Amino acid sequence: MLLQKEFKKSILLLFHNYFWILTISSVISVIGGNMWLFTFSMPIMLFFLAWKSKCSKKNLFDILMILIFISVVLSWFVNSYPYKNIMIFRYLITQGAFMAAYYIGRNMDMNVTYKVFHNALLPGLICAVLGLILYVYQPAWYLVNIDNPATLESFRLRSVFSSPYVLSYMSFFLLSYLFALDFKMLPAHYLDSVSLKVRISSYILLSSILLFCMMRAPIAGVLISLFIALLHTAFVRRKFRMLIYTVVSMAVLCVLVWNIMQRYMDMESIMFLLEKFEVATDSSGDFYEKRATLFVADDTLWGDGAGRHAIYAEQYNLDSIRDTCYQRLLQEVGYVGLVLNLFLFGCIIIKCLRYYKYLGFELSVMVFLLLSMIGADPLATPDKHCFFYWLIIGRVASFKLVKQSERDDIIRNKFNNMQNA
């Protein structure tokens, strides 16, 4: 019993330091190794914590999750295709493991689960500094893994990672988390603090990283998070002086970041980034039409097999759908699976709006999820930290208002709860 408890603490420690594991694995990969440390530890960690978390009383969200799992199994049962068993296994250790994070967020205290964001700040800042240095000086080993160095797409900032998505999407999560802390958008019983130096460094460095990664979705996501935080400050907390300070600070930050861009990015790269936003905001809707036609999904009720068109399908000479999550879901799990997923996300957003005083951070992430699903696949590709979405969905599913006396008890017993988690 004691050994099992210690093992759970060790797994929880790994979970809290997820971004450290990802960073170390990436560095090992750069110097000639591989990502096996991350590949094997993630599914074991997520499945184990989901299995060991105490089950709460079932609600609508739990039922929807069960129905989604049923739609996945049915998509396998009614279809036959090459490498089926391998594709099912790959699905289970990737998307299945990510979805298991729902039960971690659902059944564990947020003081335990949200520590994963707090612990990602330090490696995030280290990777940001390294990324800016590598972006400016671009040593030979940094460029060796680029498929086509002649394209501007290939010169997005990647830091020590193989993909620019890793740091850009993590920057979104960390900046949104800091907004939630600074603007008091989390429940009173959530106890966390970040030093002023770390907060200022994070705002400057991570904002710069977003621009150098040239990813429009994370940039738009941060702006959405900031907008929600400002609304919370103005209409919930009624701190109008803080609102003015924030607007002025953001204006100063924008000027600082723009100066950094002009100094370290050539005009061609800046125009490339601005062009991407111009395309995405085109009122004619051409961008969204092109995304929708990248892969024309079949009109099926159950789909042709969950995981069959994920990014790893390319390794087996199968078609992958990596640029639009909506299309992939429709193709893999059909109308039933797609509708169930969207209904779950919609219910989560409605609950966030209902309890907007306490779920502003979660609302920001869910809006970003629906937005990024248009041009990427945040639910299936590991470089976008997929399990974060399911962790937050589980957190919203478990949220309920507590009385002041209960809140005091939670605060008083916080550390005991963390030890027994």
Q: Which has the higher per-residue pLDDT, 154 or 328?
A: 328
Same domain, 67 and 191: no
Q: Which has the higher per-residue pLDDT, 146 or 368?
A: 368
Q: Kindly give, in sequence order, each residue whose CB lies less than 8 Å from that of residue 129, ignoring residues fewer than 6 positions away.
A: 205
User: Each residue of 176-207: pLDDT tens digit?
Assistant: 999 999 888 988 767 678 888 999 999 989 98
Predicted confidence band of residue 399 (pLDDT cuts 50, 70, 90)? very high
Same domain, 367 and 412: yes
b/e string for 262-301 if b means 16 or more Cβ within 10 A? Answer: eeebeeebeebbeebeeeeeeeeeebeeebeeebebeebe
Region label for 285, one of left (φ > 0), alpha (ψ between -120 and 50) or beta (otherwise): left
Same domain, 159 and 267: yes
This prediction has a pTM of: 0.87
Which among 225, 251, 281 is the end of a domain? Answer: 281
Q: Which has the higher per-residue pLDDT, 64 or 299?
A: 64
User: Each residue of 226-242: pLDDT tens digit?
Assistant: 989 988 888 888 777 77
Predicted confidence band of residue 405 (pLDDT cuts 50, 70, 90)? very low
Q: Is the confidence at residue 3, as pLDDT, over 70?
A: no
- CA dist 114 and 104 (Å) reads 10
Q: Is the confidence at residue 296, as pLDDT, over 70?
A: no
Helices (H) and strands (E) in the chain, counts: 21, 0
Provide the residue range defining the domain that includes 253: 119-281
Same domain, 92 and 152: no
Same domain, 170 and 68: no
In a domain, 4, yes or no: no
Predicted confidence band of residue 93 (pLDDT cuts 50, 70, 90)? very high
Distances (CA, A) of 285 to 137, 274, 280, 291, 292: 38, 17, 8, 10, 11
Same domain, 163 and 84: no
In a domain, 1, yes or no: no
Tell me what the mean pLDDT of segment 292-303 comes to: 68
Average pLDDT of every residue of the chain:
84
In a domain, 45, yes or no: no
Q: Is the confidence at residue 256, as pLDDT, over 70?
A: yes
- 41-50, 167-176, 411-420: which range is least confident on average? 411-420
Same domain, 149 and 266: yes
In a domain, 40, yes or no: no
Number of domains in the chain: 2
Same domain, 255 and 306: no
In a domain, 12, yes or no: no
